Structure 1
Amino acid sequence: MPVEGIRDGRVELGKAKRRLPRWAVLCTIFGTLLVLGSGGTLLASEVLLSRYEGSVKTADLFGDQAAASEEPKTDIKGPLNILLVGIDPRLDNPNEPPRSDSILILHVPDAHDRAYLFSLPRDLLVEIPPFPKADFGGGRDKINAAMAYGSRVPGQEKPDSAKGFELLAMTITRYTGIKRFDAGAIVNFQGFRKIVDAMGGVTMTLDMDIRSEHLKPDGSGRDGNPRGDGYVGSQKLYKKGTHHLKGWEALDIVRQRKTVGGDYVRQRHQQQFLKAMVDQAFSKDVVTNPLKLDSVLRAAGQSLTFNGRGHSVVDYAITLRNIRSSSITMVKLPGEGVGKGSNYRGERLLPPSEDFFDAVRRDTVDTFMASHPELVNK
């Protein structure tokens, strides 16, 4: 049965019901791993390796107690599947369940020189398995509710985001058939802005005009109630073309879903921004500027909760060091709404999504994508 305070992907605060916000912050995680790897000679120092490893929070995200290695290792082998989750904790209400606002999976083939990134809609209807650790009996719901359900541990007033991640990972495994995630990470909203600003901003080319639902041109919040009559007042407008974005602008862009294409367009913009972030991470402006790189790495470390199942975040950074934005393929999985208007219940993925998951399990994504070029997100 539903956990108290959570209903159909909503979190209740007193009498007010607030639908979970949909902005994405998790692209910071993958960018962070590549930033760490881009340090090259800087990270060759054992002292610096320890410093950055120590700044990243670790937690038992998979329920196997293997949060990180005590000493750096570089023997990560085989194809990899990494689960990336973005959350937006409410600083004014630490007891509110964490929300998996964005869910991405990074598949890295055996050679570790390229990657495929795909998103799961936060409103995807799935079967959430029972989770005794949170006294949750299981049931059908939107996938973003899994983390909230799993975080409500009996006897604890404050939600446990690690337990929530564990149930979310179990739910995704059940839905996709991907039996194991080799690593996982959580990044928060505040960290997204800090990392982008520490990098000096990120240059991104927008494929369409984007009008902010939430912010005015100066970055301040718009007035109104988005769940009542909607926001009112002037809106920040991002014109189609190339922009150098500050942290708050980047966050604003990747959270916009009230466009033609809705959440699926939002996913595309998240992925496009991730590639732009990777380019910035490898730019001379970052990697040859020790002060800026140090600032980026410290901001990243403060924003992440990581689990490498026995390997550290630096281990993965070293393993992924040869990946560049040009070797990252963004995958769009087709989907559609279940019900319309007041009868809307969530999303479902359409063919050939199931075949794509099978290719991920078999590490044959190269061949699959060659046969399905329409699934490449430009």
Structure 2
Amino acid sequence: MGTAAPRWARAMVGVGIALALLSVAAVVGVRALTERYDRSVARGHLLDDDARRNRTDPDGPLNYLLIGSDQFRGADDTDQRSDTILIVHLPAGLRQAYLISVPRDLLVTIPPAANGYGGGQDKINAAYDLGGGGDSGARLLSATLHRLTGLEFDGAAVVDFTGLRQVVDLLGGVRMCVDTEVRSVHTGTIFAPGCRQMDGAAALDYVRQRYDLPGGDYDRQRHQQQLLRAMLDQAGQTDLLGDPLKLDSLIRAVGDSLTVDTNGVPLEDLVLALRALPADGLVGVRVPSSPQLIGQVSYVVLDGGGTELFGAVRGERMTRWAAANPQWVNSL
């Protein structure tokens, strides 16, 4: 394999549907790959009916929901809050992918759930837990986002961070550039400024930090977006052609870390539709909002710019919005 990953494989990172199948098509071919993927990755009903787009145009626009959690797939932890919430928007033509990070502390109205939860105001990352975690938690989170943004989704994925760590290791680690020194509240590790190769444990530890950073959770969101791009870049340099054991391990790791809802679209059709996304097509976006203390609780509150952002996604004006709002666009 050459030094660059196939375009469709890079696109799969942007959508978050198959984070680790990045450069495998050149090894086994699209059809063989998707057959093995279908046997490995769990399928789920992750989207609420109101949040699900009934018709998908293969040429876009497309919206995907990516949920990152420490606990899923049958976990019995009583607190299963989603640590990462990404809306991935691909405008018509599928030449760009906007990674829109939703603040975990965003104050929202969560609708009632089938498990008896009556609805109410809370942080958006509580929706996954209030819905019961797993598939039902993802459905309540998607319903909450639909009510907030007016968006309908073409698919969704829940990513388990533990499994993702193994995927990064199988890719040989990723190159991450630290811009501000940060001490991990989880491990005590100090990440000094500078670029370095990180293994899965270090990379996931780094992108989960938000305390003592100049931008707080906004910096954490940017670091997570940068990790997706770093995985994309590393995949383009990973030679799986001569290492079928590593290839099989990679596919198994994907299966251990993902539950997906493709909204009835065959994976092969999705892959072919996304093949034209260029390598530099990922754009990181922060939701215009600000932190506020309400009743002694720290929240993030959407402002008018956030409403304009979601209107731009619905109205196919993201290129224009990003050009007019560079302060909310992250360099990846």
State the Cα deviation string for residues 176-221 of structure 1 (Å, max 9, x = none): 111x100000011211111111111111112222222221xxxxxx
State how far apart, in whole Å, the 2-side matches of 1:288 and 1:351 are.
53
Tell me if structure 2 keeps the 8 A contact 1:100–1:147.
yes
Whether 2:209 is the aligned partner of 1:278: answer no
User: 1:114 is matched with which residue: 96, 102, 113?
Assistant: 96
Q: State how many pairs are aligned.
A: 314
Match of 2:83 in 1: 101
Bigger radius of gyration among the two: 1
Give the superposed CA RMSD: 2.7
Please identify, of 345-354 and 120-129, the stretch whose mean Cα deviation from structure 2 is larger.
Answer: 345-354
Q: Name the CA shift for 1:135/1:324 in 2 (closer, same or farther; >3 Å).
A: same
Match of 2:8 in 1: none
Tell me if structure 2 keeps the 8 A contact 1:113–1:322.
yes
Structure 2 matches for 1:1-378, cutoff 5 A?
30=15, 33=18, 35-36=20-21, 38-44=23-29, 46-63=31-48, 76-89=58-71, 94-131=76-113, 133-151=114-132, 161-178=134-151, 180-215=152-187, 235-259=188-212, 260-286=214-240, 290-339=244-293, 343-378=296-331
State the Cα deviation string for residues 123-155 of structure 1 (Å, max 9, x = none): 110011122x1112211111111111111xxxx
Which residue identity lines up with residue 114 of structure 1 in the other structure?
Q
Q: 1:99 deviation in Å?
A: 1.7
* TM-score under structure 1 length normalisation: 0.76
Which residue identity lines up with residue 209 of structure 1 in the other structure?
E
Identical columns (%): 41
Secondary structure of the residue aligned to 2:201 is: helix
Q: Name the CA shift for 1:136/1:91 in 2 (closer, same or farther; >3 Å).
A: closer
Match of 2:3 in 1: none
Tell me if structure 1 keeps the 8 A contact 2:87–2:99.
yes
Q: Name the CA shift for 1:356/1:41 in 2 (closer, same or farther; >3 Å).
A: same
State how far apart, in whole Å, the 1-side matches of 2:116 and 2:129 are.
12
Tell me if structure 2 keeps the 8 A contact 1:32–1:300.
no
Tell me if structure 1 keeps the 8 A contact 2:102–2:286.
no
Please identify, of 282-291 and 357-366, the stretch whose mean Cα deviation from structure 2 is larger.
Answer: 282-291
Q: 1:285 deviation in Å?
A: 3.5
Q: 1:94 deviation in Å?
A: 1.7
Structure 1: tracts of 5 or more residues without a match: 1-26, 68-73, 152-159, 216-234
State how far apart, in whole Å, the 2-side matches of 1:317 and 1:48 are.
11
State how far apart, in whole Å, the 2-side matches of 1:200 and 1:313 are.
26
Tell me if structure 2 keeps the 8 A contact 1:53–1:314.
no
State the Cα deviation string for residues 255-298 of structure 1 (Å, max 9, x = none): 11112221111111111111111111222445775443433222
State how far apart, in whole Å, the 2-side matches of 1:362 and 1:241 are.
39
State the Cα deviation string for residues 56-80 of structure 1 (Å, max 9, x = none): 100111255xx9xxxxxx9833210
State how far apart, in whole Å, the 2-side matches of 1:29 and 1:175 are.
23
